[in-house]
Amino acid sequence: MRQLEVVAVSDDGTHVLLASTQGATKPTHAVRIDGRLNAAVRGTLNDADRRESALSPKEIQARLRAGEQVEAVAKLANVPISRVMRYAGPVLSERERIVEQARGAVLQRPRGATGGGPLGPMVDKRVAAVAGLREDTVGWTARRRGDGAWVVSLSYSARGGARTATWLWQPNGRVLTSLNALATRLGADEPALARRRRSPQPAMRARSTARKSTTGTSAARSATRAAAAAPAPKPVQRGKNGRVAVPSWDDVLIGVQAPAAARGVRPRKTAAARGRRRS
């Protein structure tokens, strides 16, 4: 192990400058002054701070960028959370910047169309109008996928429970698309929402049709029962042969009078019939 000698402190006071030879005036190494260095000087640096990490700084940042929590990464690396936080600052700032970019973009509509204003103000307005919204639960975050695109998420809790809307943000092409139904609804333009409110739901239309069909069938059945229970017409009419004239089904239903022969009325003879009788 090489021994280094303290030469000076950097002009900004953030590093200790070291040299490899005693009495040297030109530093060859620099050590950042942080909590660990201060703890080492005080003799309070514990074994955990000296423990070797199972993950490299690059791997730690990649996991944080992918959305993993600091605590989970620290546990996986087998180091204290303070060690992970050294590399977390730049990544957390990057994720915040991605969220702001996505909120300022215009949502890509189905079939490639675009419309409406920036996503952020539109979503903020609609989420604020959610019934039973717990304002302290509203939060935006972003995580990077393996293909380089970012998934931007909005989470909140309301009377119906916890909800999450997700969008896909591709910074290179500035393309923003919805990834789930809630994201689509929150980002829909006003005319689309109005059309959705005016148009009846399929289930409602089906129930309405079923009610009309049931009502018509019930009315027909009631008319049939009433017709069957109606009393026969009085007085009873008998035909020329002495038989009782039975009214037709049409007579019962709509009250049409029976033909003259059925009522016992003698029909008129035609001129031809009178001529045959004389002969």
Return the pLDDT at 258: 47
Give the E-state strand segments of the chain in sequence order. Answer: 5-9, 15-19, 29-32, 106-108, 114-118, 134-144, 150-158, 161-170, 175-178
Average pLDDT over residues 194-215: 55
Q: Are 87 and 93 in contact (CB under 8 A)?
A: no
Average pLDDT over residues 234-246: 58
The three-point CA angle 195-199-205 to 5° equals 170
Return the pLDDT at 99: 97
User: Residue ranges of the domains in the chain?
Assistant: 106-125+136-189, 230-265
Average pLDDT over residues 219-237: 56
Note the pLDDT tens digit of each residue in 81-112. 988 998 999 999 999 999 999 999 999 876 65
Return the pLDDT at 207: 61
Entry pTM? 0.53
Q: Are 200 and 193 in contact (CB under 8 A)?
A: no
Task: Answer whether residue 254 shows pLDDT above 90.
Answer: no
Task: Answer whether residue 61 shows pLDDT above 50.
Answer: yes
Return the pLDDT at 1: 67
Q: Which of 137-146, 218-227, 267-276 has the lowest mean pLDDT?
A: 267-276
pLDDT band at 261 (very low <50, low <70, confident <90, very high): very low
Count other Cβ atoms within 10 Å, centred on residue 61: 19
The three-point CA angle 65-70-76 to 5° equals 95
For residues 252 and 63, the model is more confident at 63
Residue of 145, 163, 184 whose CA lies nearest to 67: 145
Residue of 235, 237, 256, 253 whose CA lies nearest to 245: 237
Note the pLDDT tens digit of each residue in 145-189. 999 999 999 999 998 799 999 999 999 999 999 999 999 999 987
Task: Answer whether residue 54 shows pLDDT above 60.
Answer: yes
Which token pair is 279? 């002969």
Task: Answer whether residue 71 shows pLDDT above 80.
Answer: yes
Q: How far apart are CA 45 and CA 36, in angstroms?
A: 7
